[in-house]
Structure 1
Amino acid sequence: MRRSCAATIGTLLCAMAFAMAGCRSVPVAGAATAGCDPGDVAMTRDILYFGRHRPDGGTVDDAQWRTFVDDVLTPRFPDGLTIVSGTGQWRGGDGAIEREPSEVVTILHTGDATARRAIEEVIVEYKRRFAQESVLRERGTTCVRF
């Protein structure tokens, strides 16, 4: 993704709904759980948007994406994550609307320094490996129950 991309609301809702299925319940380090219902756990949710168009006109193909997931994402987040395919859209510097296939990855984690560093490593590696200008990251605290 050269700038940013957005997925449809349905895609985001699916990503959030399925993200909880593959993660263990671990409280967010230092997070207040007062806003969560009894039985819920406060966690950090990072949603990453990976555009699959490359600046040279090519695309990140399915095999390259799978290798990235296997070699970069999974080792850093072995407890689980959710991947939803979508179509991103953004306005380029020339004013034209750009559309590209995208992968939306939702990861629930503790929010500690190790997890935040792992998120940054994933972003840096995707940009390096596929000559991307950016990867959109969305972060928030949420209440989850498994």
Structure 2
Amino acid sequence: MLRLLIGCTVAATLAGCAALPAPACLPPSRPMLSAELAFGRNIGDRPGVSDADFRRFAAEEITPRFPDGFTVVDGAGQWRDTERGRVVREKAKLVTIVFAEDAGKRAALGEIAELFKRRFSQQAVMVSVRPSCVSF
């Protein structure tokens, strides 16, 4: 399982390095990237990442890398644990970050995912990046 996760992480990271075509945006929107990260809150088979734990993680790791802001919402998800052959359902924190194309910002997404996995003994953090038309 660990080899599969490492392989998927490497493939996703390399795929994320490819330049995405900028969408044709109508004013006042402009082309940017929208990243979504899904952080599971179980540690093993039990709930373990509290709201306070996640707020602290966001303040220490996400905010310094994305000081312009991000959105956090509560969610619920499921995934197949291939080591145990069962579906796992758990609460999650979903983070959306919008930013201009920047290799450093893309790398920061991977750093955040790795830091969360290490800190909270997670197998994976989903990271998805797509082009968007954005206005503020």
Fold-level match, TM-score > 0.5? yes
- 1:77 maps onto 2:89 in alignment: no
Structure 1 residues 89-125: Cα deviation after superposition (integer angstroms, max 9, x where no partner): 1222244221101000000011211111111110110
Unaligned stretches of 5+ in structure 2?
6-18
The aligned counterpart of 2:76 is 87
TM-score, scaled relative to structure 2: 0.78
Query: 2:20–2:130: 8 Å Cα contact kept in structure 1?
Result: no
% identical equivalent positions: 42
Q: Name 2:134's counterpart in structure 1.
A: 144
Q: Which protein is richer in strand relative to its size? A: 2
Alpha carbons of structure 1 residues 32 and 90: separation in structure 2 relative to 1, 3 Å: closer
SS in 1 for 2:42: coil
Q: State which of 44, 68, 89 in structure 2 corresponds to 1:99.
A: 89
**Map of 2:14 onto structure 1:** none
Q: Indicate conservation of the 8 Å contact 1:31/1:42, yes or no.
A: no
Structure 1: runs of 5+ lacking an equivalent? 4-28
1:133 partner letter: Q
CA contact (8 A) 2:22 2:131 kept: no
Judge conservation of contact 2:36–2:95 (CA < 8 Å) in 1: yes
What's the offset of the Cα at 1:127? 0.6
Q: How many residues align?
A: 119
